[in-house]
Structure 1
Amino acid sequence: MTVNLENQYDVILDAREDRCPMPLLKAKMALSKMAKGECLCVKTCDAGSLKDIPQYVALVGFSLLSTSEDSNVYTFVIQKS
Structure 2
Amino acid sequence: LRGADLRGADLRGATLHRAKLKLVDLSQAILTQANLSESDLSRANLRDSQLTRANFRDASLHMADLRGATIVSADFLDADLTGAIFN
> What TM-score, normalized by structure 1, do the two folds share?
0.35
Q: Considering fraction of residues, name the structure with more helix.
A: 1
Q: Considering fraction of residues, name the structure with more strand.
A: 1
> Higher relative contact order at CA 8 Å, sep ≥6: structure 1 or structure 2?
1
Q: Which has the larger radius of gyration?
A: 1
